[in-house]
Homo-oligomer: A and B are copies of this chain.
Amino acid sequence: MDAVRERHVLRAELDELYAEYLGCLNDERFEAWPEFFTERCLYKIVPRENFERGLPLATWLCESKGYLQDRVVAIRKTAVYAPRFIRRIVSGLRVIAVQGDEIEVRADYTAFETLLDELTRVFNVGVYHDRIVREGGRLKFREKICVFDSMLVPNSLIYPL
């Protein structure tokens, strides 16, 4: 298989991965969400300003698959918030580098929020900075950093991006 063909196959695999990842979240199958990550992993949601300045402050920080699972338990137990749907879409997936077993990927995302009896609005917009590895024949996130454009930290960031 030549290099171009190999690149296109990888791209097709990544398209599938992101479609399944977002499908999982958009369908609210949160229990399946940690399975997209390796055992040791990093998941962060961080404002662009902080990310670009190298400031450590993150809105969400999970440092292992166990943390992600804890998050899901918290989501399911939380009943204080008004019911809402979040729908995430992705665009502009680009492979930045392939180094050893790791694929570095960026992709722009947009999340829309719909509260009961309200119109849908733009919720959160940003870019995924991802590091992906192959584990048991499946692509998994070793690192996913969601860098969002707003300086405002949404006070209702209940669900993953």
A interface residues with partner B (beta carbon < 8 Å): 4, 7-9, 11-12, 15-16, 18-20, 22-23, 26, 48, 85, 87-94, 106, 108, 110, 112, 114, 116-127, 149-152
Contacts and interface: CB of A to CB of B under 8 A. Distances in A.
A8 B11 CA distance: 10
A16 to B, nearest CB: 7
A54 B112 CA distance: 24
Given A85-B48, A89-B108, A149-B112, A122 B119 contact: yes
A20 B91 CA distance: 11
Copies assembled: 3
Contacts of A9: 4, 8
Contacts of A15: 11, 93
Contact of A152 (B93, B108, B119): B119
Contacts of A4: 9
Q: In the A-B complex, list the 3 residue pairs whose CB atoms are closest, starting with the nearest.
A: A89-B91, A114-B149, A85-B149
Contacts of A26: 92, 108, 127
A118 B149 CA distance: 10
Contacts of A12: 7-8, 11-12
